[in-house]
Chain A
Amino acid sequence: MDVIVLLIGLSLTWVLGAMLVALLVAPGPALAAGRGAWIAGTGGYVGAFLVTLWMRALSALHVPFGIASIALPLLVVLGALTFVVWRRSSTRLGAAWSSAWAALLGAGLPRWQRFAWLALLAWLALRFGLLFAEVWLRPVYPWDAWIQWATKSRVWYEMRSLVPFARPEAWFAANGAYFYDASPDYPATVPLLQTWASILLGRWDDALMNVVWWGLGVSFVLAAYGALRGFGLAPLPALTGAWLVGSLPLGGVHIALAGYADLPMASYYALAAVATLRWLEHRSAGNAVVALLLLVACPTIKTPGIVWVLTIAPAIAVALLPRYGMRTLVTLLVATAIALAVLAQTNPIVLGYRLHLDFDPAWAALFESFFMLGNWNLLWYAVIVVAVVGRRQWLSPALLPMTAIVGAGLAFLFFVFGFTNARAWVADQTTINRATLHLAPLIGLWAVLVFTAWATRSPAAAPTPPATAAEPA
């Protein structure tokens, strides 16, 4: 029974987010150009973040965490959202379901494409089925998960409140009012998601509470498919792209060995970037709100989320100032170079990282990690190929904003691991891959889009089947 409540509760969170996104994004047929998949996938992330915001509010109001205090108000909101969406929708529910089912079965695709479509879906189902078994069975396993994340969720679940964690001096001074773990300053969103799952279960179970990671993984593949369809890809290429970014081996490990914040960081960041790009394209207030929600979530997941959010700024600058796009980028690059030169002469410490310039990247370890080991499949080979062959496409007005984000993200990673004492984590193959994971899904989407743009513009290109109402969404 408790497991059923867990699954229903998490589904409620998911549907709540999906209804909000459905309300916010531009009205239209639910299945047009991946709209339904984008709503469902992004909805999972928005819903999860909303529930943590509500838990923060409850804690500030000194209302103890409980199913009633958390879920009932959300249910009311969900009811209201559902009503509004239903009133606005031009599609009847029954028709929408049958369209969705037909789309899932690949109706309307040519025969070989339909075969590939179903095979890919089956393959994804196998992957996520195996991952579900791992998440379901294994108690919190990896190191940081039990020294700095699940520590908080355990305390917050048992205390039914967001009791503070503090550094040693403050902890001693508080005489029991504060708690302590290895990283007391870390943000609350991830442990709150575990706390929410534990409250739904009605008991502490550090295996089952991590089913949230699995849900985020599934949501991300849906959202990635919806995003690629929204960017103009046909159903099969879009599903292939979603599978590529959803099958990064290290991402799979972070679902199976759930408990780290890196996968949520990566997926929230990628979706925030895509949502921002959608807003830049459509300029609708609803898309802006979705983007804003996802952007705000980033720093509440991991502290570097602040920097990841900043990497989206160049895209906004490029898109809002189209006449000066390239000039803006070049200016930013020069400004960055000057900032680096200034840092070479100083010794500041930001977010715990010593930012003194001391350029000495661990190239060999970096090469091994990206190209030889099993962390990324062929992602970085693809990025290089795409960057070379699609150089005109990634500088085109359509893709320049996304390129700006990816470039800024790569520059951030290169800066941290090339110039700071964090390079030691490259050499021992620890943090380098987890930090890279933050950018990897987005750069995967970028590579798919640039390659598609290049392939469809080359003279001998096979035409991409246009999206029609008869095709899968």
Chain B
Amino acid sequence: MLAFAVALLVCVLGYLAMAVPASWFPSASRVGFAASDLAMSRGTAAVEGTEFVVTATDDAGMALVVVNANLRSIDYPVIEWLARDVPADAEVRVIWRTDYAPAKTSSAPAEVAYGRVLPVDLSRHPDWMGRVTGLGLAIRAPLAQPIRIRGAEAKPMGAAGVLAERFREWTAFEGWSGSSINTLSGGSDVQELPLPALLFAAVALASLALAGVARWRPRWYEASPAWTFAGLFVLAWFVLDARWVANLARQVPLTAGQYAGKDWRERHLAAEDGPLFAFVERARGVLPAPPARIFVLADAHYLRGRAAYHLYPYNVYYEPYRNATPPADRLVPGDWIFVYQRRGVQYDRAQQMLRWDGGVTVPAELKLVDKGGALFRVK
């Protein structure tokens, strides 16, 4: 155990030697900029709660977020923009101005991972000198969805700061998401030093050291190197498992808060697609008994699939992987068409005619309409 602790310490110190950009023990403390401090220089954005939401770029495809600052560059080698939902193919740069060259705007590229902008180490950048008077984030990308920015942080990144960052990454809550079933990050989405790698390095180092002692100084350490490795490996595994179990223990109350004490219907109404489920329930009140044929249309494949799922055991048809309408010539009177948040579908009430992509028309009777949804019966 002691050997493992020492090995872990050695690994951590080795990492810090590479990761700490400037002083190990800086005197400055972190400086944060909130969303309300930010302004838009190019593009369109608005403050929503604690987030600065960038909704559009300018005509040149550029969004530029800026904030006034007053920092000694030597105290703050790392700048982090707390942004999410940044497109993976976005060209992102951190920009700044200093009192050393007030007319010059400097910049450095920033990497994007899992929709987030990674911290940028500017300690060796030739233009990072003097007092920083302004910071900015330039994003060049087509925006399929808004970019959300909680603010920015200027970090001294001493040894304690780096360790605190890593610890925060390892222990960050990883709630269930659509990708959880495929992959787990094991903490925050982006991790500078993955915990499994660190722990295994410590296990390997400690095992090798103890094996060496057992080989050349058998009186000092008599235990089997193999079982030493096994014990340390199990210990490291337990640390990772404890992290996973602790994360699950944080998830369960959230799940309970959302679903506990509710019956099956209430749970679905409380789920992410509750409004869709509610509309499907209304549609059930209009539909005949199953298994009538129902064609589902929605722009988002998530909503198409969810609508179909909620409509079973009706005989549902939908396009799981593309946003397409059903072949009109295959529809027969008595079929039903369920439309939810689908652009390009029009209904002529006087003619009782449904029209969709390509000018295709289908004689149909409107049976139900609500916010974003409608139900038709083919005539």
Task: Mark A residues whose CB is within 8 Å of B.
Answer: 123, 126-127, 130-131, 133-134, 137-144, 146-147, 150-151, 154-155, 157-159, 168, 171-172, 175-176, 179-182, 203-207, 240, 244, 247, 249-250, 252-254, 256-257, 260, 369, 371-378, 381-382, 385, 389, 429-431, 433-434, 451, 454-455, 458, 460-462
Contacts and interface: CB of A to CB of B under 8 A. Distances in A.
B264 A205 contact: yes
Nearest to B316: A180
A147 B178 CA distance: 13
B291 A176 contact: yes
Contacts of B225: 458, 460
Contact of A430 (B183, B237, B293): B183
Contacts of A431: 182
Nearest to A256: B248
Contacts of B236: 378
B184 A146 contact: no
Contact of A142 (B178, B184, B308): B178
B199 A434 contact: no
A159 B191 CA distance: 49
B339 to A, nearest CB: 18
B317 A253 contact: no
Contact of B309 (A146, A375, A455, A461): A146
A139 B259 CA distance: 9
A429 B196 contact: no
A432 to B, nearest CB: 8
Interface of B: 174, 176, 178-187, 191, 194-197, 199-200, 203, 214, 223-227, 229-230, 233-234, 236-237, 240-241, 243-245, 248-249, 251-252, 255-256, 258-260, 264, 267-268, 271, 290-291, 293, 305-306, 308-309, 312-313, 315-317, 320-321, 330, 332
Nearest to A370: B196
B181 A172 contact: no
A241 to B, nearest CB: 10
A374 B244 contact: yes
B221 to A, nearest CB: 10
B329 to A, nearest CB: 10
Contact of A247 (B182, B186, B241): B241
Contacts of B182: 429-431, 433-434
Contacts of B180: 142, 253, 257
7 contacts: A139-B268, A147-B308, A151-B308, A154-B313, A179-B316, A256-B248, A374-B244
Contact of B259 (A137, A157, A377): A137
A141 B271 CA distance: 9
A378 B240 contact: yes
B209 to A, nearest CB: 16
Contacts of B293: 176
Contacts of A168: 317
B244 to A, nearest CB: 5
A461 B230 CA distance: 12
Given A131-B248, A176-B291, A253-B184, A461 B255 contact: no
Q: Which 3 pairs, one residue from A and one from B, show the smallest C-beta to C-beta distance?
A: A374-B186, A455-B226, A158-B313
Contacts of B256: 133, 137
B216 to A, nearest CB: 13
